[in-house]
Amino acid sequence: MAHQLVIVLDFGGQYNQLIARRVRECGVYCEVRSYKTPIEEIKKLNPMGIIFTGGPNSVYDEKSPSISVEIFNIGIPILGICYGCHLMAHVLGGKVSSCITSEYGKTETVYDRSCILFGGVSDMPEKAVSWMSHTDYILEMPAGFKSTAHTDNCPVAAMENKEKKLYAVQFHPEVNHTEYGLGMIDSFLKNVCGCIGDWTMGNYAKTAIEDVRNKVGNGKVLLALSGGVDSSVAAALLSKAVGNQLTCIFVDHGFMRKNEGDEVEAAFADWDINFVRVNAKDQFMAKLNGVSDPETKRKTIGEEFIRVFEQEAKKIGAVDYLVQGTIYPDVIESGAGDAAVIKSHHNVGGLPDYVDFKEIIEPLRLLFKDEVRALGRELGLSNVLVDRQPFPGPGLAIRIIGEITDEKLKILQDADYIFREEIAKAGLDKSIHQYFAVLTNMRSVGVMGDGRTYDYTLALRAVTTTDFMTADFAKIPYDVLETASSRIVNEVKSINRVVYDVTTKPPATIEWE
């Protein structure tokens, strides 16, 4: 796929993926590469521009990540952000020093709009808020640079060498708190690098479909469909590309949310693919009989998933390609090459050993999660699948604390359904990133009518997060919690108490097991 490329050179900052996502929001394809990437390799990639990320180090510490001065002489425009800005100054002969007053958070910044980074943003005023996070600053700029922004404590909050197309900002334009930040990135890409913005999901779908067609020819393709966003979008793409040469095996382990198995099946009913649903609940329940340890549950389900998948795959016979729903963050996090294995371990417990296939296809390997959703919409996948919140591979089995029984599964499905309904009714389903119910193994005393009850305690969990690595509990209004709680205890037999989980991650995890 030939798209104009921009490289985000990673110096270890926490917002690196965010920078890459912002570049793509501007319609420009970009890849994150290590700062150690040899200059020769960068030249071969022929990028339109390079962005240096931030990082936790100080440039004057000898062990800090650095870069050869050569990179500034190959004629490719560069934007340095935070640490990247210090590095540009340092390597080109300027002076970086510890700040007299560090800046952290929203900072009033004065911009010189004759600099194209800011002047190229329509309606941008001379003064606006930027997001700062630094203890070093540029004390002296290298020769040929001029300061293009300042704050009360930072005389060089941005600098440029227009002739050499080198730009640097002390603040983080990729963070939402920086007003006009996305516009600045867009201006760098379009006005400095000359990018045309050809990265759209429409274009991507077209070329990805062609690529898959060319690769697969008349071959047979197999895909393990979980009902999650990634595997669903991969299935839709493959279906458009090779139609009924594709077989999707949907292993329903019985631990999906209420009606979910049927919803997944219905969503693919009109697609030109071979869709195999395996209702394997009894098989999974048998294996989990007497199991209450969380890790044993996870492993048992992961292994059984593979066994069921293999049994079905064998019926189809030898296939040429196996599709994996690997996405770009997996590729970045695991280092190129290892991604397929890591992802499948996480989702289904490992690659099937004796499904006979020649090669793996990963059609989403270049995409971020929000792009995967956009692609799904582009391909006409239903909202039920595209907007789905993350759901763990082992499903409700790890939301039932202790041993799993049919009765507990039914209780949890019903209660979880009510909670989801109430969240949606309150219009909170887009702002809360994950919300669900957990059936604790605890019973307590209650009173209903005139009688004593001794029933289960249900926990509600709802979190907001950007990356699911850390999370905050959602501040759901009390009246929404009240309605959900009252409906659950009234409508679901065997629950007489509802509690709300108010722990952040860390120290808790999002799931309870």
CA quadruple 253, 256, 262, 265: dihedral sign: negative
Residues 447-486 that bind ligand XMP (CB under 6 A): 468
Task: Name the packing angle between helices 229-242 and 369-378 (round to 10°).
Answer: 40
How many Cβ atoms from other residues are within 10 Å of residue 293's Cβ?
A: 12
- Which residue among 89, 394, 435, 440 contacts ligand XMP (CB under 6 A)? 394
Question: Does 510 contact ligand XMP by CB under 6 A?
Answer: yes
Q: Report the residue number, 20 or 510, with the smaller CB distance to ligand XMP.
A: 510
Cα separation of 167 and 17, whole Å?
Answer: 20
Residue 216: alpha-carbon gap to chain centroid: 28
Q: How far is the CB of 55 from ligand XMP (least distance, A)?
A: 26
434 binds ligand XMP (CB under 6 A): yes
CA distance 465 to 423: 17
Catalytic residue from among 174, 260, 304, 312: 174
3-state helix, strand, coil in the chain (%, to 5): 35, 25, 40
503 lies in the binding site for ligand XMP (CB under 6 A): no
Active site residue 378: no
Residue 192 or residue 401: which is nearer to ligand XMP going by CB? 401
Take residue 172 and report the two structure tokens written for it: 């983080």
505 near ligand XMP, judged by CB under 6 A: yes
Residue 347, interface with ligand XMP (CB under 6 A)? yes
Figure out which of the listed residues 127, 346, 425, 493 binds ligand XMP, where binding follows CB under 6 A.
346
Stretch that binds ligand XMP, among 90-98, 187-195, 251-259, 502-510 (CB under 6 A): 502-510
Q: Which of 403, 187, 432, 179 is nearest to 288 (CA)?
A: 403
421 is catalytic: no
Catalytic-residue membership of 3: no
173 and 15 in contact (C-beta within 8 Å)? no
Q: How far is the CB of 182 from ligand XMP (least distance, A)?
A: 27
509 binds ligand XMP (CB under 6 A): yes
The Cα–Cα gap between 324 and 313 comes to 15
| 506 cis-preceded (ω within 30 degrees of 0) | yes
- Which residue in the list 26, 30, 82, 193 is annotated as catalytic? 82
Smallest distance from the beta carbon of 433 to ligand XMP, in angstroms? 8
Which residue from 93, 194, 390, 477 is in contact with ligand XMP, where contact means CB under 6 A?
390
CA-to-CA distance for 69 and 166, rounded, in angstroms?
13
Q: Write down the least CB distance from residue 434 to ligand XMP, Å.
A: 5
392 binds ligand XMP (CB under 6 A): yes
ω into 38 cis (within 30 of 0): no
Residues engaged in binding ligand XMP (CB under 6 A): 346-347, 390, 392-394, 434, 468, 505, 509-511
Q: What residues act catalytically?
A: 82, 172, 174
